[in-house]
Structure 1
Amino acid sequence: MIENILNKDKELLIFLNNLGTEQWDPFWLAITNQFHWSPLFILIFYLVIKSFGWKRGGFMIVSMILLVAFSDQFTNLIKNSVQRLRPNNDPEIKPFLRHLINPQSYSFTSGHATTSTFFSVFVILLFKQKYKLIYLILLFPLIFAYSRLYLGVHYPIDITVGIIIGVTFANGYYYLFKKVDKILFT
């Protein structure tokens, strides 16, 4: 059964990856680069300081930085434990993929999907009472994660599990954050 699921995962990746065209390649290469999302992060940091002030906002920003560091290390722990080859390194499907980058680390789970979802859901939980449009930030992890399929460096299961972990961690981290925030700022 698991073998069948993994085969369907590979088939879905090949299908999605082959929807790409050279015309769109530069766009998706830019999307997958975390640096190009800097304006979004700057906007979020601005909203944090504007909404919560320097002291409490600074604590929130440090919390977000810790969130990203934790998420990154947790993802690396899983990748190094599971050791699933990335599609671009898997000799079974590599010839059927369009791949524009060739990362050598492992595939399961997607750090892009986990961390961007973790960050985005945490931000939504922080701001849902203040800004109605904050839910638009969910476009960030969806587009960011899809870029990994487009580029042929993750399987759909890697992305899906990364999103699930991101949502789970964001809710748990927010619960912990609220406890600490209450102690420090009330």
Structure 2
Amino acid sequence: MKTFFNELDQALLLMLNKCHHPIIDYFFRLVTSVSFWVPLYVFLLAFIKKKLGWPGVCFFIATITISDQSSASLFKPFFERYRPCYQVNIPLIHLVGEHEGIYGFPSSHASNTFSFAMLFWKVFRLKHKHTRLFFVWAAIVSYGRIYGGMHYPLDVICGAMLGICVGALNYRLYRSSKWWRYDI
């Protein structure tokens, strides 16, 4: 059964990775680069600070940190699943973007962006109806990791599920805290 899922994951990767073009490569190189998003991150942190104060900013930073460290420091060393770009038995993969480490399960990009999207949506959805668009952003960033040959589809799916769980759990913690603000 494990072999079946590995072969399916590899086939999906190759199907999604082989459809490349220089313009799309450039787009996903930007989208998966952390430095590209710095202006958005600065804006979002300022927005969160204005709406929730420093405790809210700390909850968001803690959410992303928990998501990142659980994927990178806990699950990746535990599962030791090589990134597709390190697999010898896979035909030539088109590589786009950068990565750290040889293990890719689960995707930290997917985990981090989906944890942020979930927490942001849960906190601000009642007053700001377009908060669900952060899930689209997270999906694009996550797909870019498959397109770039850095992750298998299952890496991204599990990273997204991890991020959604971390975001939802931290939202529950935030709601039960003394810093919860109802006037968002």
- TM-score computed with the length of structure 2 as normaliser: 0.90
In the alignment, residue 148 of structure 1 is paired with which amino acid?
Answer: R
Moved more, 110-119 or 22-31: 22-31
Conserved 8 A contact 1:149-1:156: yes
Task: Please say if 1:152 is aligned against 2:149.
Answer: yes
**In the alignment, which residue of structure 2 is the partner of 1:40?**
40
Instruction: From the two aligned structures, give the one with the greater helix fraction.
Output: 1
Q: Give how far 1:20 is off.
A: 1.2
Distance 1:183 1:144 in 2: 30
Conserved 8 A contact 1:14-1:96: no
Q: Which runs of 5+ in 1 are unaligned?
A: none
**In the alignment, which residue of structure 1 is the partner of 2:96?**
100
Q: Give how far 1:102 is off.
A: 6.1
Task: Please point out which of 81, 86, 95 is paired with 2:78.
Answer: 81
SS at match of 1:107: coil
SS at match of 2:102: coil
Q: Which runs of 5+ in 2 are unaligned?
A: none
Conserved 8 A contact 1:71-1:115: yes
RMSD between aligned residues: 1.8
Q: Give how far 1:42 is off.
A: 2.3
**In the alignment, which residue of structure 2 is the partner of 1:70?**
66
In the alignment, residue 173 of structure 2 is paired with which amino acid?
Answer: L
**In the alignment, which residue of structure 1 is the partner of 2:174?**
177
Distance 2:66 2:23 in 1: 36
Q: Give how far 1:82 is off.
A: 0.4
Distance 2:180 2:22 in 1: 53
- TM-score computed with the length of structure 1 as normaliser: 0.90
Moved more, 7-16 or 64-73: 64-73
Q: Give how far 1:111 is off.
A: 0.2
In the alignment, residue 70 of structure 1 is paired with which amino acid?
Answer: I
- Give me the identity figure in percent: 27
**In the alignment, which residue of structure 1 is the partner of 2:16?**
16
What stretches of structure 1 move > 4 A for 4+ residues in a row?
182-185
Task: Please say if 1:122 is aligned against 2:119.
Answer: yes
Task: Please say if 1:50 is aligned against 2:50.
Answer: yes
In the alignment, residue 111 of structure 2 is paired with which amino acid?
Answer: T
**In the alignment, which residue of structure 2 is the partner of 1:2?**
2
Q: Give how far 1:38 is off.
A: 1.8
Q: Give how far 1:43 is off.
A: 2.7
In the alignment, residue 49 of structure 1 is paired with which amino acid?
Answer: K
